Amino acid sequence: MSDRKHRLELIIEIVFAGLLVATLVAVHWSAPELLPTLWKLTLSGDVDEIIEFLQPYGLWAMLISFVINVLINALGFLPSIFISTANGVLFGIGPGIFISWLAECTGVIIAFLLMRSILRHAAERLISKSAYLKKVDEFSSHNGFKMMLFARALPYFPSGIISAVGAVSSISFREYVLATLIGKFPSTALEVVIGHDLVNYEENMVRLALVVILVLLVYGMIWWVQRRKGRS
């Protein structure tokens, strides 16, 4: 990677890291009890408690939910399914999908930038010592968009793992963002719909069953394709 690209990536990383820190400071300054409460709710995974917490904030609940989801996905090791479910129940399926999708994309983009600043340069030194790893790295450079698009489209797959793999690969920032924006939409939509319908299963039993079958078919197809590749 050229020095110019290194400098550009470094600037982007600093800007995003600065925005993340500024957001946390602003949230803590305006409501000191908010972040500890959100952390506790996120770890608990109790959708009813999350909804009960967000509801009194009215329209501000959308912004608070957005910030929570961004932080969860930026950290990479906490599940965002609970907040996505709460978004669908509290705001409706359409707005819930949009808020969750935008927040998750923002979070994993921040995670990618932070991880790449830490991991990619170490990975480059390791790759330079191995002919095999060089080939793998070149493959990710030419096929990174397709790989990332496919990975992001998988519902319930840990975002942190995908972000880390992207960070150590040669995928460009532009391709990573584009693949994330496109791939995250169907997976987030499925998660919100399933979460919403599980909470309200008596009213949405048919749709819930159809969506669950669709998800199982997708994963079944992936398993079948991988098995055939393994045999060939």
Is 70 exceeded by the pLDDT of residue 231? no
CB of 207 closer than 8 Å to CB of 189: no
Residue 139's pLDDT band (boundaries 50, 70, 90)?
Answer: low
pLDDT in tens, 44-86: 667 888 888 888 888 888 988 898 888 888 887 777 888 888 9
- How far is the C-alpha of 150 from the C-alpha of 152, rounded, in Å? 6
Tell me the whole-structure pTM to 2 decimals.
Answer: 0.74
Measured on CA atoms in the order 66, 68, 71, 76, is the torsion positive or negative?
A: negative
Percentage of the chain with pLDDT > 70?
71
Counted residue by residue, the chain has a size of 232
Residue 160's pLDDT band (boundaries 50, 70, 90)?
Answer: confident
Residue 102's pLDDT band (boundaries 50, 70, 90)?
Answer: very high
Is 60 exceeded by the pLDDT of residue 117? yes
- How far is the C-alpha of 45 from the C-alpha of 80, rounded, in Å? 9
Q: Is 156 left (phi over 0), alpha (psi -120 to 50) or beta?
A: left
User: In 76-204, which residue ranges form alpha helices assigned H by DSSP?
Assistant: 81-91, 93-115, 121-127, 131-152, 159-168, 173-199
- Which pLDDT score is estimated for 52? 86
